[in-house]
Structure 1
Amino acid sequence: MYKEALVHGNVVHHMQTGSELQMKERRDYLLHIVAVIKLLGKQGISFRGHDESEDSENKGPFIEFLNVLSKFDPFLKRYIPPDNATYTSPSSQNEIIQCCSGEATHKIVNELKASGMYAIRGHHKEQLAICVRYVLPLSGEIKEHFLGFRELEDFNADAITESLQECLKEHGVDSILCVAQTYDGAAVMSGVSGGVQAKSRKYHPEGIYVHCYAHELNLVLCHTCKAIKEAKDFFSTMENLYTFFSTSLIHHHKFKAVQNTLGLKQGELVQLSDTCWSCQVRSVNALINNFPAVHQCLSEIESSTATGLLVKFKKTVSSILSLYVPVFAYPHRGLPHNPPKETLDLAKAVDLKDAVCNTLRAMQTPEKVSELLQKAESLLRDTSTEGEEIVLERRKKQKSMEDFVVEQSSSREHVSTKDDFRTKLFFPCLDGMISELENRFSSVSEEMMRGIQACSPLSPNFLSEDLREIAKHYNIDFKSEEALVANNYFANKKLNSQTLSMGQVYKLLDPLMFPTVTQIIQMALTVPVSSCSCERSFSALRRLHNWLRCTMGQSRLQDLAVLSVERGVLQSVSDDAIVDRFAGMHARRQALTVTRQNVK
């Protein structure tokens, strides 16, 4: 027996070997479950079914996915899990989902800590969405990630600020330098004295406030349209047209048939949105592409609604479309819209704004007016209304006279000549938009803006003494010699700084040789332009928290939101790391990790 034990091992060795083989099988089984949960989480698919019993024909996506895998996977075909280690119960699901979310968030937080600085972005509706932006110190890659949702007990500035700080403290980043904060324009968020941005400075005094540029752009265009009666009527008609063709199958089929008859590409009208100007752009482009089909449908459908829409269509739509395309669509193409790219920095966004303003000023010429009117006439000819005069009606202002009773008049003055179109519609539209652009995009102080622009190679003051403005704000001991050497470095390398981006400049500069300059440029890159990534998380929230899943708890909702929003990070997380985290949550009846002991 002694000799056999030396050759084949003793009883303890055999028991330990058998236990390790069983543990490996349990881990392999759990890895299959983790893969299914990651897939369902990334796609935002529900997990549980109404009836998960053995006799049920639909046990829910989670169980059904495992059943499909068991038909083709050799391991799942032969492996029968113990009754106390199936890991398919709701509680086990929640724990594995929590582990997947925890590993993804852990990776984000580790990168943020390595960066040494970040910007926080928040947006609130029924929940508070919290995102961060930071720059990786080695690669210079700009990252924007979602940290999670927070359920708000109240919607005042104090409650929102406390929720923000609790989230940062929970992830251990509350002590890291916060260089900026970006929110929407709601008073509770942007208030100078009582808003979240003001109260957050108690915890992060260096964090400058940047009003989301995407919201700013939307406000510029919306306010300009509201100030012009014809533009307001135009978008009202657009909404009525969408409703007319989308709510009735008869009208929709008629629209499709006319498209085929005219040889137009199949397409739908797009619904308008009050909060996203890109929806307006897509809606107008769809109307332009289907202009003849819309006109013919309204002419052939015999109903009072179609007749009324046709009258509005002829009076305003054709000429306003010619105004819309160059005036309202150009800022959308030139400025950061929803959603802007992560690589867009604040200096470039301001340069784009200035370029748009200069372009709009250059459009204030009689030649441009003639060009727009010719386009309007072309649209009218294409819809078989050749020779019809372009007439825009403007309501007369009611005279106000004290101590007199004045009758209200609904008469309208006609803007039918080229001069009237230029002076009463086109030029006021351009002036209003330029004024809004100049006034609204100014949430950052002038001194700080000069410092940020000094980090941009497209700026005439690139790497100048204006960098000292950022250094002073963030308490950095700026060395002028570093900026001078950096300028000479680009000259010696024969690099044209005008062709580089701020991110490329950051990658080219060695942080050991240019410690303060690279730190300042990193701060400028970290300052966000918009809070659109927070709004994208609400799109995931609508998919996750629908009426079929309305009983979901906050913890599970938070974890599923991370899986859905940060699917790229989740994909890079090791499945074994998730299993190890799951094994260490609490003591389990079946071991999932190896504890080796030397057997003598």
Structure 2
Amino acid sequence: MALGLRFADSETLHIREEFIEFTIVDDLRSESLGQFILSRIEKLGLDMKLCRGQGYDGAPNMSGHLSGAQAFISSKYPLAKYVHCIAHSLNLVLTDSSKIAEIKHCMMVIRETVNFFHFSAKQSAILKTYTALNLIGLCETRWVKRHDAIQISKQLIVPIFKALEEIETDGDSVTLSKARSLLNNILSLDYIVTLIVMDFFLGYTLNLSKLLQSENIDMVMCIQCVESVTKMFKEIRNSAEGRFHQLFLEATRLCRELEVTLVMLRKRNFFTIPSDIPAEKHIEFYYRVSIFLPFVDQLIQSIESRFTKHKVTLKGLGGILPSFVVKQPSSDLKELIKLYASDLTSSDSTVMAELELWRAKWLKVVPSLFPKIAVQSLAECECGIFPNIYKLLSIFCVIPTSTACVERSFSSIKRIKTYLRSRMSEDRLNGLTLLNVHRDVLVSVDEILEKFAISSPRRLQFKV
């Protein structure tokens, strides 16, 4: 298990997410995991009473609302609100959309094509004679990398075709059979149209996925960006005929270059084409209805269902941000004040008065100059005048938006714990990982030698 902390730096007013350690977990039951997390926090000398958020990747034994580890911790510390990793939620949205048969088949072909060239130096060398670019494998967990893989597969479809043709005419029986199978898949209109459609839609989610993994953002910016992408998808859905026509023209040009005949290879029994559709538009209509529309519909539906709980979180603390506080009366925030009463230093009436002053301050400001995120609002909040608002903004800053910080640590462990170091102890692994992750932290060589020298009397001769 990887453990990380999110906190607001009081000096720089920046949100920081820091990897803390790897720990070995033997018991994966929810309650045991919850107890284990609490014990590690206590060992670090931190007070869980000050914790205001939990973030996990969505595994049932961690995120279960009845018996998950988060429920166990929340029962002891009610203010430690659980938030499902928002970047992981977007990954699940894209995974839901990939369950469409044509999408699954396209990704399977990409995966097999990449493996075909990567697992053979000879076949890889043949591909390099047609392009200097390298194919990228489909990462099982990171959709940013999946988009790169889909984009490069689309970009290199012609060089891949030429390389497979060469391998098909000059290879052993097994290689020839595999190359021919890949050629048949790649030279199908189903594959070409699906690849272009996937590349089109993932272009809208690529930067969103990167943004949601940033540490210096809050739930407001996350939800605003998600809603912006959702709005764009709905606009695309409403103008589907024109949008898909451009994509189909691109597919037609690519088919012409690859000498692929524009025919529907597979027509479902229940699929009928309206009589008012011209014959030359039948193929375009078929792929628009069978691939383009189901994909965008699934994207919209999954986004709206998977981000509902995040919007509930935003509705609470987000109400104190300038862009929200000027639009709603202070009375709407009574539940928020009641929830965090133990964190506030004044009575309810004083906090309400403070909210009125906070609201009046921003009513004088042009909306375009409002802070965009909570940490910017925190910088604009005078602690002496608005002590309770400052506290609420601080809480909002530390509510986790993603678990990308701790998940990145697994990239470090792959570099550190190789097969030559497979018996490395937990302490040593944590030490090396911390050095690798926190490269910006300067380590004093003199302090290390000092500790080494006094750790045992027989090593005193090394003392500096």
TM-score, with structure 1 as normaliser: 0.68
1:319 to 160, 184, 193: 193
Distance of 2:454 and 2:7 partners within structure 1: 30
Q: Which SS does the other structure have where 2:391 is aligned?
A: helix
Inter-CA distance 460–331: structure 2 relative to 1 (3 Å threshold): farther
Residues of 2 paired with 1:392 and 1:458: CA distance? 53
| Alignment counterpart, residue 14 of structure 2, candidates 141, 145, 152 | 141
What is residue 309 of structure 2 aligned with on the other side? 443
Alignment partner of 1:308 out of 175, 181, 185: 181
Structure with greater Cα Rg: 1
Counterpart position of 1:252: 124
Of residues 312-321 and 431-440 in structure 1, the stretch that sits farther from structure 2 once superposed is 312-321
Partner of 1:191: 64
- Once residues 586 and 519 of structure 1 are traced to their aligned partners in structure 2, the CA distance between those partners, rounded to angstroms, is 47
> Retained in 1: the 8 A contact 2:193–2:287?
no
Matching residue's letter, 2:288? R
Q: Corresponding residue for 2:384?
A: 512
Give matches, 1:105-504, under 5 Å: 128-226=1-99, 228-259=100-131, 266-302=132-168, 303-315=176-188, 316-336=190-210, 340-364=213-237, 365=239, 366-381=241-256, 383-385=257-259, 388-389=261-262, 391=264, 393=266, 417-444=283-310, 446=312, 448-459=313-324, 465=330, 466-475=332-341, 476=344, 477=346, 479-490=351-362, 496-498=368-370, 500-504=372-376
The residue type paired with residue 243 of structure 2 is K
RMSD across aligned positions (CA): 2.7
Report the structure, 1 or 2, having the larger helix content.
Answer: 2
Q: Spell out, residue by residue over 1:263-297, the C-alpha distance to the aligned partner (whole angstroms, 9 max, x if none).
A: xxx21110012211112101011112212211222
Secondary structure of the corresponding residue to residue 151 of structure 1: coil
Q: CA deviation at 1:561?
A: 2.0
Contact 2:187-2:258 within 8 A present in 1 as well: no
Aligned to 1:44: none
Residue 473 of structure 1: CA displacement?
2.2
Q: What amino acid is aligned across from residue 320 of structure 1 in structure 2?
A: T
Decide whether aligned partners of structure 1 residues 490 and 591 sit closer, same or farther in structure 2, where only a CA change above 3 A counts. farther
Change beyond 3 A, Cα 1:392–1:344: farther
Letter in 2 for 1:453: G
- Runs of 4+ in structure 1 deviating by more than 6 angstroms, as ranges, are 591-594
Cα displacement (A) at 1:558: 2.2
SS in 2 for 1:152: coil
Q: 1:481 to 1:249 in 2, by over 3 A?
A: same
CA gap 1:590/1:167 in 2 versus in 1, 3 angstroms: same
Q: 1:471 to 1:336 in 2, by over 3 A?
A: farther
Whether the 8 Å CA contact 2:449–2:463 is kept in 1: the answer is no
CA distance in structure 1 between the aligned counterparts of 2:300 and 2:226, rounded to whole angstroms: 10
2:421 is equivalent to residue 549 of structure 1: yes
Report the Cα distance in structure 1 between the residues aligned to 2:361 and 2:444, rounded to whole angstroms: 41
Q: Is the 8 A contact 1:184 1:215 kept in 2?
A: yes
- 1:229 CA displacement: 0.9
Q: Give the secondary-structure state (helix, strand or coil) at the position aligned to 2:51.
A: strand
Q: Contact 1:157–1:188 at 8 Å: present in 2 too?
A: yes
Evaluate the alpha carbon distance shift between residue 439 and residue 500 of structure 1 in structure 2; reply closer, same or farther with a 3 A threshold: closer
Displacement after TM superposition at 1:376 (Å)? 1.0
Could you list the per-position Cα deviations for residues 200-230 of structure 1 after superposition, in whole angstroms to 9, with x for gaps in the alignment?
113322111111112111111112111x111
Report how far residue 170 of structure 1 moved. 0.8
Distance 2:13 2:194 in 1: 45
SS of 2:187's partner is helix
User: How far has the Cα of 1:129 moved from its partner?
Assistant: 0.7
With 348-357 and 450-459 compared, the bigger mean Cα shift is at 450-459
| Deviations 1:393-445 (CA, angstroms, capped at 9, x unpaired) | 35658xxxxxxxxxxxxxxxxx9523222222211211111111111113347
For residue 148 of structure 1, what is the amino acid of its counterpart? E
Distance of aligned partners of 1:390 and 1:137 in 2 relative to their CA distance in 1, 3 Å threshold: farther
| % identical aligned pairs | 25
The answer (yes or no) to whether the contact 1:165–1:174 under 8 Å persists in 2 is no
Q: Equivalent residue for 1:590?
A: 460
- Counterpart Cα distance in 2 of 1:283 and 1:312: 17
Q: 1:155 to 1:395 in 2, by over 3 A?
A: farther
Structure 2 residue matching 1:481: 3-state secondary structure: helix
Is the contact made by 1:189 and 1:197 (CA closer than 8 Å) also made in structure 2? yes
Unaligned runs of 5+ in 1: 1-127, 260-265, 398-414, 595-600
* Amino acid of the structure 2 residue aligned with 1:370: H
Deviation at 1:459, TM superposition (A): 4.5
8 A Cα contact 1:453 1:462, kept in partner: no
**CA–CA distance in 2 between the matches of 1:173 and 1:428?**
49
How far residue 235 of structure 1 moved from its aligned partner, in angstroms, is: 0.2
Give 1:378's aligned amino acid.
Answer: R
Which residue identity does 2:150 align to in structure 1?
A: V
- Secondary structure in structure 1 of the residue aligned to 2:6: strand
* Equivalent pair of 1:150/1:163 in contact (CA under 8 Å): no
Local SS of the residue matching 2:75: coil
Number of residue pairs matched by the alignment: 437
**Conserved 8 A contact 2:223-2:311:** no
- Aligned with 1:590: secondary structure? helix
Bigger mean CA deviation after superposition, 279-288 or 200-209: 200-209
Q: Distance in 2 between matches of 1:495 and 1:358?
A: 22
The TM-score with structure 2 as length reference comes to 0.86
The CA distance in 1 between the partners of 2:108 and 2:123, in whole Å, is 19
Which runs of no fewer than 5 residues in structure 2 stay unpaired? 169-175, 271-280
In structure 2, C-alpha distance between the alignment counterparts of 1:424 and 1:554, rounded to whole Å:
52
Structure 1's 183 and 390: CA in aligned 2 closer, same or farther, altered over 3 A?
farther
| Alpha-carbon shift at residue 527 of structure 1 (Å) | 0.9
Alpha carbons of 1:332 and 1:392: their partners in 2 closer, same or farther (altered >3 Å)?
farther
Compared CA separation, residues 588 and 130, structure 1 to 2 (3 A): same
For 1:355 and 1:179, the matched residues in 2 are separated by: 28
- Residue 335 of structure 1 deviates from its aligned partner by 4.3
Rounded to whole Å, the distance in 2 between the matches of 1:378 and 1:528 is 46
Q: Amino acid of the residue matched to residue 400 of structure 2?
A: P
How far residue 581 of structure 1 moved from its aligned partner, in angstroms, is: 5.0
Is the contact made by 1:455 and 1:463 (CA closer than 8 Å) also made in structure 2?
no
Confirm or deny: 8 A CA contact 2:326 2:362 kept in the other structure. Answer: no
- Pair 1:257–1:175, CA change in 2 (3 A): closer
Could you tell me which amino acid in structure 2 is paired with residue 523 of structure 1? I
- Separation in 2 of the partners of 1:285 and 1:376? 14
